[in-house]
Amino acid sequence: MSTPIRASTILPGRREDIELHTADGLTLVGELALPLEREPAGTLVCLHPLPTHGGMMDSHVLRKAAWRLPALADLAVLRFNTRGTSSVRGTSEGAFDNAVSERFDVAAAIEYAEFAELPNIWLVGWSFGTDLTIRYGCDPAVAGAILLSPPLRYSAPDDLTQWAESGKPLTALVPEFDDYLRPDEARERFGVVPQAEVIGVDGGKHLWVGNAETALDEIVRRVNPAVPVPLPTTWDGPVETGDVSAYADRTVASFADTPVPGPAQRRAG
């Protein structure tokens, strides 16, 4: 019997709690999800939204990636909490540092994936996580990157230049009604990266509510193009159910009415 894949559905996979150790001496908590009976065809290292506004390794698109993509797309999914960030998995040591010391967090995650011999490593950043990706993710071990709702807030033109010079694929998924950066301006600002692909998401908003499946399809399309998309919406076989109520009062935040630390940000028009 086919079971509909819902927000709380956990498809089969091998999942283990992991710890990352940064060069400045912190321990970060995370999880690695792998296909149940096969080696992964690719790896997603996920960088979550702004922790001061509820972002964490369980932010819904990243959680759905970990719960679905090992089974649906043969992908390994590595999620973790950056310094000072909490979720059900636990709290990472340290404190939020406005995308400065977080460079050690990104390096620790890439290093873990390398040492675990995970193949075809791609970074998937969302909001604040896209700035970490752009600033610190252009690493020799990284095949490419996918950006969800990039605000280009903590990153600078020089950071994009390093991606341009690397030639590594860079895809930005930009919601039509994003709070910070909308498709037309995104195409202009990512224009310095010749290989960058900017995809406007019709009707989408910064939080990807109702559009998570679109994000997952586009991720799979690039990291494991052998898998047909759109991905299935039902599953024939055993499933588990996860608790999504733990975050009912937490959101990545639209940031519209709440001050955000860090550099000044232009409002999207």
| CATH code of 25's domain | 3.40.50.1820
List, for residues 201-214, the tens digit of each pLDDT value. Answer: 999 999 999 999 99
Tally of domains within the chain: 1
Q: Note whether 29 and 58 are within 8 A (CB).
A: no
Residue 263 forms part of a structural domain: no
- DSSP codes, 179-217: SS--HHHHHHHGGGSTTEEEEEETT--TT-TTTHHHHHH
List, for residues 122-150, the tens digit of each pLDDT value. Answer: 999 999 999 999 999 999 999 999 999 99
Residue 93 forms part of a structural domain: yes
Contacts of 243 (CB under 8 A, 6+ apart): 8, 88
Average predicted confidence (pLDDT) for the chain: 92
Cα-Cα-Cα-Cα dihedral of 158, 59, 146, 106, to 10°?
A: 50
Contacts of 224 (CB under 8 A, 6+ apart): 41, 42, 73, 74, 75
The pLDDT value given to residue 98: 96
Contacts of 37 (CB under 8 A, 6+ apart): none
Place of tokens 């995308």: 99
Residue 119 forms part of a structural domain: yes
The pLDDT value given to residue 104: 98
- DSSP E strand boundaries for the chain: 2-4, 9-10, 14-21, 27-34, 42-47, 75-80, 86-87, 90-91, 121-126, 142-148, 170-175, 196-201, 234-236, 240-241
What token pair was written down for 40?
């992964």
* 176/152 Cα distance (integer angstroms): 16
Residue 232 forms part of a structural domain: no
Domain housing 181: 2-225
Q: Note whether 114 and 143 are within 8 A (CB).
A: no
Taking Cα atoms as reference points, which of 40, 194, 226 lies closest to residue 116? 40
Residue 46 forms part of a structural domain: yes
Half-sphere exposure of 46 (CA within 13 A, CB side): 33
Per-residue pLDDT of the chain (269 residues; tens, 9 = 90+): 799 999 999 999 999 999 999 999 999 999 999 999 999 999 999 999 999 999 999 999 999 999 999 999 999 999 999 999 999 999 999 999 999 999 999 999 999 999 999 999 999 999 999 999 999 999 999 999 999 999 999 999 999 999 999 999 999 999 999 999 999 999 999 999 999 999 999 999 999 999 999 999 999 999 999 999 999 999 999 999 998 876 655 544 433 344 444 544 433 32
Task: Give 242's DSSP letter.
Answer: -
The pLDDT value given to residue 222: 98
The pLDDT value given to residue 253: 42
Taking Cα atoms as reference points, which of 221, 172, 208 lies closest to residue 193? 172
* 228/219 Cα distance (integer angstroms): 12
Residue 127 forms part of a structural domain: yes
Residue 258 forms part of a structural domain: no
Residue 206 forms part of a structural domain: yes
